[in-house]
């Protein structure tokens, strides 16, 4: 454990173990933590480094099913936010400094848990007889169940869980909302920049991607060196790439545990909608992170509407009609002269990290970094209020609230 005057941070807690392409197995008993983050899921460099900069370097290992807990000291019964990082299901870690929750916890008094899960082929490869698919999603659900059963030991309230995520993390929560396995596990969720326009593939579609991966790999994936797994994964992503820059070769698969087929998935969401409280939103120029500067360009704006804005609005409207309580938001540019505008990921520095974690982020160029804390205060306050009460009092109404 590491600690400041008012918070404690418990890093590298193993919540599960898993063999390669095996289901996660819960680790129970007394939690063991460290002052250092645990290893992260094996991954190649992220294409989002062009806007986010490079993350702090952490060791990679298939033994990556770890989480970090940040809590007020002497806390008891505090509401809990469980953070699921993004990264196109290929990159990321809850242990990166980008997701340091110290300021959020100090200002709101909540407990924050950030998780790792398996990525890429190791998390989502579908190859009958070799890899079942959806392992990364099962990791996430296992982590949430672990938090429910252990968070009281760290000052959290297991009956007050909110799951939150950005990009692929939000897309994962989008998937979970239609999984019977998560019914009753959480009732509050925050979906940041969720690409609801990207559908979950069928098993047959996922198997075609899996065959590309196996052909490129050229050997048994169970025994292949990790370097070869990542090489084949990168080549598969290149072969699968589309001009919009948001192709996802490895992602949750419809009709495979824990996800039902599409019609049953939609019915599950409708059936539980009245019990759900959600915050959903996007940034003004999502696609600038993938297509480059000039965020107001016609192609970038058109794809942003197609992948993010319009399907998200349709999803939110459908949920509201089914009885869910929703808050909506939109993030505008933080600095008028930054060429990336309000690109994908621009809200993350408002919620997590500090000027040291985000000091090399091109999407923040031109912005005095010592203003980040003040710029993010309204967002942190709103997220804390929602996690605590399920409502953001100042955000009632159908129109998206503008941030920062």
Active-site residue set: 167, 286, 344
SS (H, E, C) the chain: CEECCCEEEEEEEECEECCCCCCCEECCCCCCCECCCCCECCCCCCCCHHHHCCCCCCCECCCCCEEEEEEECCCCCEEEEEEECCCCCCCCCCCCHHHCCHHHHHHHCCEEEEECCCCHHHHHCEECCCEECCHHHHHHHHHHHHHHHHHHHHCEEEEEEEEEEECHHHHHHHHHCCCHHHCCCCCEEEEECCCCCCCCCCHHHHHHHHHHHHHHHCCCCCCCCHHHHHHHHHHHHHHHCCCCCCCCCCCCCCCCCCCCCHHHHHHHHHHHHHHCEEEEEEECCCCHHHHCCCCCCHHHHHHHHHHHHHHHHHHHHHHHHCCCEEEEEEECCCCCCCCCCCCCCCCHHHHCCCCCCCCCCHHHCCCCHHHHHHHHHHHHHHHHHHHHHCCCHHHCCCCCEEEC
Angle of helix 226-240 relative to helix 203-217, nearest 10 degrees, comes to 120
Strand partners, 350: none
d(CA 120, CA 45): 12
């Amino acid at each position: 454990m590491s600690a400041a005057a008012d918070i404690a941070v418990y890093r590298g807690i193993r919540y599960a173990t898993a063999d390669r392409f095996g289901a996660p197995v819960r680790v129970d008993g007394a939690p063991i933590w460290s002052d250092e983050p645990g290893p992260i899921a094996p991954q190649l460099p992220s294409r989002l480094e062009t806007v986010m900069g490079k993350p702090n370097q952490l060791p990679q290992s298939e033994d990556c099913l770890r989480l970090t807990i940040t809590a007020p000291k002497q806390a008891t019964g505090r509401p809990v936010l469980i953070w699921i990082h993004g990264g196109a299901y290929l990159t990321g870690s809850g242990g990166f400094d980008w997701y340091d929750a110290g300021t959020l916890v100090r200002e709101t008094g909540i407990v924050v848990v950030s998780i790792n899960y398996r990525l890429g082929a190791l998390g989502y490869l579908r190859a009958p007889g070799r890899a079942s698919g959806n392992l990364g999603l099962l990791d996430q659900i296992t982590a949430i169940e672990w938090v429910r059963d252990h968070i009281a030991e760290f000052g959290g309230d297991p009956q007050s869980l909110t799951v939150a995520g950005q990009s692929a993390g939000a897309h994962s929560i989008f998937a979970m909302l239609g999984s019977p396995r998560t019914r009753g596990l959480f009732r509050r969720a925050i979906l940041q920049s969720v690409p609801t326009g990207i559908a979950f593939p069928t098993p047959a579609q996922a198997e075609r991607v899996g065959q590309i991966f196996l052909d490129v790999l050229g050997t048994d994936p169970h025994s292949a060196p990790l370097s070869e797994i990542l090489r084949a994964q990168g080549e598969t992503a290149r072969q699968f790439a589309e001009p919009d820059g948001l192709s996802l070769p490895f992602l949750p698969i419809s009709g495979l545990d824990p996800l039902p087929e599409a019609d049953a998935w939609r019915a599950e969401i409708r059936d539980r909608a009245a019990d759900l409280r959600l915050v959903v939103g996007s940034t003004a120029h999502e696609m600038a992170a993938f297509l480059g500067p000039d965020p107001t360009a016609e192609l970038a704006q058109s794809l942003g509407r197609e992948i993010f804005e319009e399907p998200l609005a349709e999803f939110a409207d459908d949920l509201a009609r089914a009885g869910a309580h929703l808050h909506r938001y939109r993030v505008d540019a933080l600095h008028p002269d930054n060429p990336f505008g309000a690109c994908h990921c621009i809200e993350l520095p408002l919620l997590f990290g500090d000027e040291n974690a985000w000091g090399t982020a091109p999407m923040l160029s031109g912005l005095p970094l010592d203003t980040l804390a003040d710029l993010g205060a309204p967002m942190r306050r709103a997220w804390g209020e929602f996690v605590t009460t399920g409502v953001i009092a100042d955000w009632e109404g159908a129109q998206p609230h503008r941030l920062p």
